[in-house]
Amino acid sequence: MVTVSDLVKKTRLKVLQGEKYLDRPVTTSDISRPGLELTGYFKYYPAMRIQLLGITETSFAKNMTHDELLMVMRKMCAPETPTFVVSTDLEVPKELKQAAEENKIPILGTSLTSSRVLSNMTYYLSGKLAERQSVHGVLVDINGIGVMITGDSGVGKSETALELVRRGHHLVADDRVEVYAQDEQTLVGSAPAILSHLMEIRGIGIIDVMNLYGAGAVMQEDDVDLIVNLETWAPDVQFDRLGDKGDSQKILDVIVPKVSIPVKTGRNLAIIIESAAMNFRAQSMGYDATEVFDANLNKLIKENSTKD
């Protein structure tokens, strides 16, 4: 649950009035700009949203009589309304102060413009209120690429992640990754609070990565850019050798690229996963080694055909 108090701390808002009422819940990331409501139109009033007043709304309010504005503000102060936010260090209408105090609704302020504070609040609330899914795996940031390592229990996910941390990369979550869709194309993962910065290594037990390797070895959350699935090697299983299969996995309606890596004695999985992440970055920048190989192969075939 997110409260108005959380919103104040995370988006650096100032409490202008109603500090005693900051425990009111915020249930939606949608923000309302109550322009129509100031004209008296309340048929579709989204009362459960944060109400943001900027230059346009406060300027319009100045042209209303005291009684008109007080009546409107009292209607806007619904039981489910979490808070009012006034941008650009604007003066809060006294009618809003009165109505908000009557209904125990806090009023917040900021020096930021309406567009900027709306963006900040939406970004924070979207992440906190989004649907979450728990995925069994390990999330590591490799040079800015969020790689989620999945696979059967005991296949070596945590040990591989620990080696990646030793190589200078960052642990986000071990064992369980809490993911949510930030938008239609971005999946974000973090660790459950009880597992934050911790890893379980068979034979050793629980270790605190931040205490052992420093604060720079961990991250609170990261985008899930690539899924690397570790599979126990078997002679009858065909694995991708050219990198042209284009496998993916859908999580919370977000499609994430996926590669499968066979686990076999003697393979350095940390280096392989590190290379997979860098190859993914190269492909994202338009360079595809498979296409280069195909072009070189076709060129060689053509040259040999010419000689014949």
Known binding residue 253? Answer is no
Q: Where is average pLDDT lowest: 2-6, 31-35, 243-247, 255-259?
A: 243-247
Section 250-274 average pLDDT? 90
Known binding residue 157? Answer is yes
Two structure tokens written together for 187: 């999946």
What would the pLDDT profile of 215-257 be if each residue is shown by its tens digit? 999 999 999 999 999 998 777 666 666 555 678 999 999 999 9
- Give me the phi and psi of 167, to 5 degrees please: -85, 5
CA distance 49 to 80: 8
pLDDT of residue 285: 85
Known binding residue 305? Answer is no
Which residue numbers are catalytic? 136, 157, 175, 241
- Give me the phi and psi of 183, to 5 degrees please: -155, -170
Predicted TM-score (pTM) of this structure: 0.75
Two structure tokens written together for 3: 């409260």
If residue 4 lies in a helix (H) or strand (E), which one and from where to where?
A: helix 4-11
Say which residue the tokens 């990646």 belong to: 164
Is residue 90 within 8 Å of 57, Cβ to Cβ? Answer: no
CA distance 16 to 265: 63
Is residue 114 within 8 Å of 58, Cβ to Cβ? Answer: no
Known binding residue 156? Answer is yes
What would the pLDDT profile of 116-158 be if each residue is shown by its tens digit? 999 999 999 998 999 999 999 999 999 999 999 999 888 889 9
In the three-class reduction of DSSP (H, G, I as helix; E, B as strand; rest coil), residue 52 is classed as strand
Domains and CATH numbers, the chain: 2-129 (3.40.1390.20), 132-292 (3.40.50.300)
Q: Where is average pLDDT lowest: 22-26, 145-149, 231-235, 300-304?
A: 300-304
Known binding residue 18? Answer is no
Length of the chain in terms of residues written: 308
pLDDT of residue 154: 85
Known binding residue 153? Answer is yes
Percent of the chain with pLDDT over 90: 76
Known binding residue 2? Answer is no
Which is nearest to 143 in space by CA: 285, 287, 274, 283? Answer: 274
